[in-house]
Structure 1
Amino acid sequence: MLSLSLFIAFLVAGALYLRRIGSRERGLPPGPPTLPIIGNLHIFPTEFPHYIFTKWARKYGGIYSLKLGTRTIIVLTDPKLVKELMETRNASTSDRPASHIVELVTGGFHVGLGRYGDTWRTQRKTAHAILGAQAVARLLPIQRAEATQLLYDLLPTLEGFFTHVERYSHSVIMSALYGIRSPRYDSLELTAFFRMIHEWGAIHEPGATPPIDLFPILKLVPERFAPWKQRARRIRQSQRELYFALLDKTIQRMGKGERNGCFMEEVLEREEEFGFHKEMTGYFAGTLMEAGSETTSSFLKTLILCLVAYPEVQQRAQAEIDRVVGAERLPTLEDLEKLPYIRSLIFETHRFRPNLPLLMPHATTAPEMCGGYMIPSGSTIFVNLWGISHNPELYDDPDNFVPERYLRSENGTKPGVDASSLKPTLPFGVGRRSCPGIHLAQNSININVINLLWAFDFKPAVDAEGKPIKPDTFAYHKGIATAPLPFRCTIASRSEEKAHIIRQEFLDAGEIFQRFEAGLAEESAR
């Protein structure tokens, strides 16, 4: 009888414990109802989660919680709470959620996805040392030259402009990091990069792998029975072949005395001072290249999409740049100070279709309180940037593209709204995890926005009957980082005089290009 009693007590205790799994603990923010063990796993969105997260925010408030088994997720859609938790107390909110796939592929050396610790702190310190505003300024000549090639490439383009934008974005970050540019979209390095980044993104999509981080026992499954482990190994091999080959080319060029001022020259010279070893150095540069290549490309595609969908915005922006710059020269960054509407257009593009609608998830390393609620250590935190930037309590007509809103108020918000917590750099991240390459990215964005508006008219494509095809401003790729799906439009030079200036500027940029073309394979050259 004693044994039976103990067995029954054990079963009851086990049942009570299992019942608590998936339940929302006392003190957590409210959220959707949970089920035993799985919590909210059954309703957790598997694609475009920012839409569902925003819908829940309107119901449960600016801070709410979700449960996935034993894991807690906190979603912030109130900019004041974002500032309170992610900026003011960033010491305990700078981790990333545990990811076995990230560890398996990168060995913990991924700058953007790596866990908070000594390795990441070393990488962050180095990134800020080499990517500061003054350091980035010395690379403006190659950024301007690459932007000129983008204009030149677009001159004869009717369709397929996506590849030119992607080439530009990747070539700039390649030049900045390794001192090696990509003159052609089908160059060897660029082809290898996009093949790898597609596979790397695909393995992060919901359902691509089992829920390894919820059920760690899955890590023990032998590789021959785990296709996801085989994929991870192939991606790791692709990354290493690309990253370390580029690093070796930089080392070889430095050995020949062919320096061009790229960032990795400084890192390699100061490797010991920074506390790096070759494994860290290779992944440091490679993962910065991942981030820098995609973000600028996504922004420029969104910009063109909005210019096609909102012709009145394009007309007003072109009228402003024509008045300030004229038709006899390309615009410069210095002109931007005199172009308030175009600056507003840039802010509105970030707000209207943010590249990272939920930013990158953070994780807490210590318990915190926020908005009167408990935030346990180890919680995953999503900053719902989409929900913030499309909140009708903050913005008039938030679902429309209206650059004028930033002329009426500093942060584009409604009159009388306290917008002091809305930092203009929010699209680039929060706290200690904000993008270290923000100055390089902003220069690329600013140069290309004014160039494209000065040089081209962007209009809808037409169907067989000659009617304009209205682009879908919601047609975006799935994933944490989004970008427009390919769309059709017509791109026409605004005048033959401007086309002539573009061709001449492209020829004049040849001397700058040559500094970043040492060692290029013949099939990769211009």
Structure 2
Amino acid sequence: MLSTHILAVGIPCIIALVAALRLTRRRVYPLPLPPGPRPLPFLGNALQLDSERPWLTYTAWGKTYGKIIHSRVLGIDFITINSETIARELLDKRSAIYSDRPVIRTNELSGLYFNTLLLPYGEALRRQRKIFHQVFRAEVSILYHDICSRYANELVINLLNATSDLQEETQAYTASLIMAVTYGRDTRGNGDSLLARANELLDIGRHVISPEKAAIFTAFPFLEKLPVWCFSGAFALMERSRELAQQLLNEPFNEVKAQMANGTASHSVVADFLSQADGNADEETMKEIALMAYMGGIDTTTSALRTFLLAMLLYPDVQARARAEINQVVGHDKMPCLDDRPSLPYLSAILREVLRWYPPAPLGSEWYMRHQMMIFTTGAVIVGNQWAMSRDEDTYPDASRFDPSRHLTVDGQLTDPFANLFVFGHGRRVCPGRWFAENTLWTAAAAVLAVLHVDHAKDSNGDRIEVKPEYTTGRAM
């Protein structure tokens, strides 16, 4: 990633020196590690790993080495779990020792030290999760049903009138809804600076923050001391990321405080928190949670919504059955709302299958925290490969096919109405905003099916344009 001629010459020498030192201090493991690809000296398996789509590499390795795989990148051990059953056994049932996180230096260098997903298990994480549960738990999410419905209805109108790429409309729905619920801020329309900066921060973060890329700074700590001009690509934007993070932590939060002082604040998560807080309120943590609600929800929920539209296009029989269910339960002259959710099990099964079929976040990672268990070495990064779990034929036969019926009983009810899919994480690191995310996705899907018919576009000759599912890192295409 270094762009100067001097560094280009110096880095190989340093690598050789560090490699020589490490080879003279080989680790000794009291128990055998899981099987995995043979590593190269020092580099380990770095050259074999698809840095943009590591989940695909881990899944391919699983076909050779099994459902638990060991690999190494620049001296860091990775234990990848490709099985939902094993993940539940370890990460759910033994969450006390599988809930930590490694120190992701690129996360800190980018100014995202508050990132809930990557916080080590400790007091800071406990404070965040406590307030996250307080402001986004299932009971509180009910208070935002009406606003979810309003924005979903507007999404339908925008999709119906869209003349450009539909991806913009789905992201606009998710982004504007999260901003409205979190800060009471109306970001609909063009030119909202806050929204533009938040998306810029996301773009930087999604390309920099990963254990695989952070391994570079772990292996070469001196890189942190180099000036920005030594770097290229996303790494060169870490200084800009720090600037954006501070702006986004403070500006919208302080805006809500000012509105509350003059009596103009709208109903929102931040306003509710401040109105119920006493003089000892942890405002700094609430700032972090408010920003993380956006950063953690925008990509994942938007991706899931796009996957839903793709599935409805490719599986018209599923779309027709869902629409028939809505018409039977709600009628033709009324829009479905979240109160109708228990009576629409097939729609819920569709959305559960959406999350399984193309998981919005293909990889999750846990940090092995305290002591040795089974065959793992202390200090290894435990990676839950959600993509491989979603394609596990033992659990999901014909896994590449979109089939909501796999989540239904013989009488058409959900197999487990309270099931927590692996896509929301495991144990003590389960997504604290899952209730709001599910409501956001359900409301949009119900509105689309009630009003629109998703079908193929046609070319200038009137012929149907075939669609081939293709996904890029960070968002569905």
Q: Does 1:218 align with 2:218?
A: no
Aligned match of 1:125: 130
Aligned-pair CA distance for 1:70: 2.5
Return the alpha-carbon distance in structure 1 between the equivalents of residues 198 and 42 of structure 2: 41
Q: Which residue of 1 aligns with 2:437?
A: 441
Equivalents in 1 of 2:47, 2:29: separation in Å? 15
Aligned to 2:467: 471
* 1:200–1:79 CA distance, 2 compared to 1 (3 A): closer
RMSD of aligned Cα (Å): 2.9
Q: Which amino acid aligns with 1:362?
A: E
CA deviation string 1:264-289 (max 9, x = no partner) = 124435667776354x4433321221
C-alpha displacement of 1:74: 0.8
What does 1:487-526 correspond to in 2, within 5 Å? none
TM-score by length of 2: 0.87
Whether the 8 Å CA contact 1:86–1:430 is kept in 2: the answer is yes
Distance 1:271 1:69, change over 3 A: farther
C-alpha separation between the residues in 1 aligned to 2:278 and 2:45? 47
Q: How does 1:303-342 map to 2 (within 5 A)?
A: 303-342=308-347
> Helix, strand or coil for the counterpart of 2:375?
strand
Change (3 A) 1:90 1:273: farther
- In the other structure, the counterpart of 1:483 is 475
Which residue matches 2:453? 457
Q: Whole-Å Cα distance in 1 between the matches of residues 294 and 423 of structure 2?
A: 18
SS at match of 1:361: strand
Query: What is the alpha-carbon distance in structure 2 between the residues aligned to residue 455 and residue 180 of structure 1?
Result: 27
Please report how far the alpha carbon of residue 226 of structure 1 lies from its aligned counterpart in structure 2 after TM superposition.
4.3
| Counterpart contact for 2:111–2:241, Cα < 8 Å | no
Conserved in 2, the CA contact under 8 Å of 1:109 and 1:283?
yes
1:66-77 maps to which residues of 2 (within 5 A)?
66-77=71-82
Distance in 1 separating the partners of 2:101 and 2:223:
21
2:280 is the counterpart of 1:284: no
CA gap of 1:213–1:430, structure 2 versus 1, over 3 A, is same
Deviations 1:387-428 (A, max 9, x none): 112112222211111122222579999xxxxx99x9533211
Q: What CA distance in whole angstroms lies between the structure 2 residues aligned with 1:410 and 1:320?
A: 14
Q: CA deviation at 1:24?
A: 7.8
CA distance 1:302–1:185, shift in 2 (3 Å): farther
Taking the TM superposition and a 5 Å limit, the aligned residue runs for 1:375-454 are 375-408=376-409, 423-454=419-450
Of 251, 260, 270 in structure 2, the residue corresponding to residue 245 of structure 1 is 251
Q: Residue 140 of structure 1 corresponds to which residue in structure 2?
A: 145
Q: How many residues align?
A: 457
2:237 pairs, out of 231, 251, 276, with 231
Structure 1's 247 and 410: CA in aligned 2 closer, same or farther, altered over 3 A? farther
Percent identity over the alignment is: 27
**How many angstroms does 1:86 deviate by?**
0.7
Matched with 2:351 is: 346
* Displacement after TM superposition at 1:313 (Å): 1.6
Selected match of 1:261 from 255, 262, 267: 267
Q: Flag the 1:273–1:82 CA change in 2: closer, same or farther, 3 A.
A: farther
Q: Which amino acid aligns with 1:469?
A: I
Letter in 1 for 2:247: E
Corresponding residue of 1:512:
none
When structure 1 is superposed on structure 2, of 441-450 and 203-212 the one drifting more is 203-212
Q: Is the 8 A contact 2:42 2:74 kept in 1?
A: yes
Aligned to 2:16: none
Query: What letter is aligned with 2:387?
Result: W
Q: Measured at CA, do residues 102 and 128 of structure 1 come closer, stay the same or move farther in structure 2, by a change above 3 Å?
A: same
Instruction: Classify the secondary structure of the residue corresponding to 2:102.
Output: coil
Alignment of 1:349-368 (within 5 A): 349-358=354-363, 360-368=364-372
For the residue of structure 2 that corresponds to 1:66, the secondary structure is strand
Cα displacement string for residues 277-307 of structure 1 (whole angstroms, at most 9, x for unaligned residues)? 54x4433321221112222211111111111
Partner of 1:235, secondary structure, is helix
d(CA) in 2 for partners of 1:20 and 1:45?
A: 28
3-state secondary structure, aligned to 1:471: coil
Conservation of the 8 A alpha-carbon contact between 2:345 and 2:413 = no
Q: Aligned with 2:99: secondary structure? A: coil
Residues 35, 65 of structure 2: 8 Å contact kept: yes
Alpha-carbon distance between aligned partners in 1 of 2:120 and 2:279, rounded to the nearest angstrom? 22
Contact 1:96 1:363 in 2 (8 A): yes
Q: Alignment partner of 2:71: what SS?
A: strand
SS of equivalent to 1:97? coil
Contact 1:21 1:38 (8 Å CA) reproduced: no
Aligned residue identity for 1:364: Y
Distance apart, 1:386 and its partner CA: 1.5
Distance 2:112 2:445 in 1: 38
- Assess, with a 3 A threshold, how the Cα gap between structure 1 residues 386 and 25 changes in structure 2: closer, same or farther: farther
Q: Secondary structure at the match of 2:318?
A: helix
Q: Counterpart of 1:234 in structure 2: which amino acid? A: R
1:151–1:455 contact (8 Å) kept in structure 2: yes
Instruction: Rate the CA distance shift 1:291–1:149 in 2: closer, same or farther, 3 A.
Output: same
1:149 aligns with 2:149: no
Measure, in 1, the Cα distance between the counterparts of 2:34 and 2:108: 30
Three-state SS of the structure 2 residue aligned to 1:461 is coil
Partner deviation per Cα, 1:8-46 (whole Å, 9 max, x = no partner): xxxxxx969506658987421111112222222221221
- The verdict on how the C-alpha distance between 1:62 and 1:435 changes in structure 2, with shifts beyond 3 A counting, is same
Amino acid at match of 1:449: A
Between the aligned partners of 2:148 and 2:370, the Cα distance in structure 1 is 42
1:468-523 deviation digits (Å, cap 9, x = unpaired): 222122x1112xxx4322xxxxxxxxxxxxxxxxxxxxxxxxxxxxxxxxxxxxxx
Gap runs ≥5 in structure 2: 1-18
Structure 1 stretches lacking a partner, 5+ long: 1-13, 414-418, 486-526
Tell me how far 1:144 sits from its aligned partner.
Answer: 1.2
Scaled by the length of structure 1, the TM-score of the pair is 0.80
Change (3 A) 1:270 1:92: farther
Does structure 1 residue 374 correspond to structure 2 residue 375?
Answer: yes
